[in-house]
Amino acid sequence: MNSLIQNATRIIIKVGSSLVTNDGRGLDHAAIARWAAQISALRALGKEVVLVSSGAVAEGMLRLGFDKRPTDIHELQACAAVGQMGLAQIYETSFRAHGIGTAQVLLTHADLADRERYLNARSTLTTLLRLGVVPIINENDTVVTDEIKFGDNDTLGALVANLIEADALVILTDQRGLFNADPRKDPAAYLITHGRAGDPALEAMAGGAGSALGRGGMLTKILAAKRAAKSGAHTVIAFGREADVLTRLAAGECIGTELSAQTGHLTARKQWMADHLHTAGQVVLDAGAVQKLAQEGKSLLPIGVIDVHGEFGRGAVITCVSEAGVPVARGISNYTSAETRRIKRKPSAEIEAILGYVEGHELIHRDNMVLL
């Protein structure tokens, strides 16, 4: 059986605090250099990689002289602010050794809960990947409060997988994967090598929090896999100190615990759109546009839109109807209703002149559309 990573094109790799900081003894420069070398090899195979890295708070604790994780939120934020400097510096240096640029992206739950900020984060990350940059993502611990914390970077990794529709999520941890019982307490415990993301039996097997350094135990990883699977991403939970773990996974070797998603990300997105019984608005299409969508599988261009009904924002799911009012498709709009009214019946080449920018040459891309 081949690894779930072998055929993945876009991969989220999450690295835990204990790995990045060598169990709290400061940033592990050698380990980070090894991951940079492996990610460079993955990119040479044509894979896009986003790295979700813990470690800022742990590094800040060391620099500020804390011997245990602070409970005071402002001390925790101070640790994050100080530690993030060292974390960004070592990643930039390690990747530059391979001719790869990096970008620091700090997110909060509010960034992904707000539709406009969600779309902006998505566009920024996909643009960075297109430009050949490796985004280094962490929770923005400097500004978060209890209400907007992701809670752990396993969840953050899954949310990013959903955000940019990654094919796979690799969670590197200080355990060799999911065991049927705690191997530290039960010598008969065995490794679960393959499973289905979202299987309730896996949640029952997962233990509580792991080290005192990090916040995520095995349960958060199982729940992260369940969340990632909703957008069609497979998950691998593997031992981060395993030699060449990332390149071996990419070569097809099965390492750790593999949790497969049951649907592809395109199928998952289209099912999500199909489930919208009430959409934010409608666009009325001419006969030519209806034929392009329904019979030729094309994207919807502004020139094919006759009229716009309702008010909707960019990224909203809207309904496409014929001149007779018959629903043809649902899809995610690249433009607001106000913008759509300005560019309807216009060639895509004129969008920039009319709006001052181009979000896409299509009003709705075919990958973001489901026919009715």
**Contact present, 150 and 109 (Cβ < 8 Å):** yes
| CA–centroid distance for 49 within its chain | 10
Q: Which domains can be identified in the chain, with CATH numbers? A: 10-265 (3.40.1160.10), 276-371 (2.30.130.10)
> pLDDT higher for 144 or 9?
9
Name the one residue in this structure whose structure tokens are 């049927």: 180
**Contact present, 177 and 239 (Cβ < 8 Å):** yes
Averaged pLDDT of the chain: 88
pLDDT band of 1, cuts 50, 70, 90: low
Q: At what angle do helices 29-44 and 73-96 cross, to 10 degrees?
A: 50
pLDDT band of 215, cuts 50, 70, 90: very low
pLDDT given at position 16: 86
Measured CA to CA, the distance from residue 255 to residue 172 in angstroms comes to 11
pLDDT band of 265, cuts 50, 70, 90: low
**Beta strands at 234-239 and 194-196: parallel, antiparallel or unpaired:** unpaired
Give the 3-state secondary structure of the chain: CCCCCCCCCEEEEEECHHHHCCCCCCCCHHHHHHHHHHHHHHHHCCCEEEEEECCHHHHHHHHHCCCCCCCCHHHHHHHHHHHHHHHHHHHHHHHHCCCCCEEEEEECHHHHHCHHHHHHHHHHHHHHHHCCCEEEEEECCCCCCHHHCCCCHHHHHHHHHHHCCCCEEEEEECCCCCECCCCCCCCCCCECCEEECCCHHHHHHCCCCCCCCCCCCHHHHHHHHHHHHCCCCEEEEEECCCCCHHHHHHCCCCCCEEEECCCCHHHHHHHHHHCCCCCCEEEEECHHHHHHHHCCCCCECHHHEEEEEECCCCCCEEEEECCCCCEEEEEECCCCHHHHHHHCCCCHHHHHHHHCCCCCCCCECHHHEEEC
The CA distances from residue 47 to 132, 152, 247, 280, in Å, are: 10, 26, 11, 36
Measured CA to CA, the distance from residue 218 to residue 230 in angstroms comes to 19
Query: Which of 46-55, 174-183, 187-196 bottoms out in mean pLDDT, i.e. has the lowest?
Result: 174-183
Longest dimension (CA), the chain: 71
Q: According to the per-residue pLDDT averaged within each range, which of 61-75, 140-154, 158-172, 178-192 is highest?
A: 158-172
pLDDT given at position 213: 37
pLDDT given at position 212: 38
Rg of the chain (C-alpha set):
23
Question: Is 199's pLDDT higher than 80?
Answer: yes
The pTM (predicted TM-score) of the whole model is 0.80
Query: Which of 57-71, 212-226, 239-253, 318-332 bottoms out in mean pLDDT, i.e. has the lowest?
Result: 212-226
For a pLDDT cut of 70, what percent of the chain falls above it?
91
Token pair listed for 279: 């959409």
Say how many residues make up the chain. Answer: 372
pLDDT given at position 355: 97
As a whole number, mean pLDDT of residues 254-265 equals: 88
Smallest CA-to-CA distance from 322 within 346, 300, 338 is with 300
Summarize pLDDT for 96-154 with one digit per residue, the tens: 999 999 999 999 877 877 777 888 899 899 999 999 999 999 888 777 665 556 667 89
> pLDDT higher for 178 or 205?
178
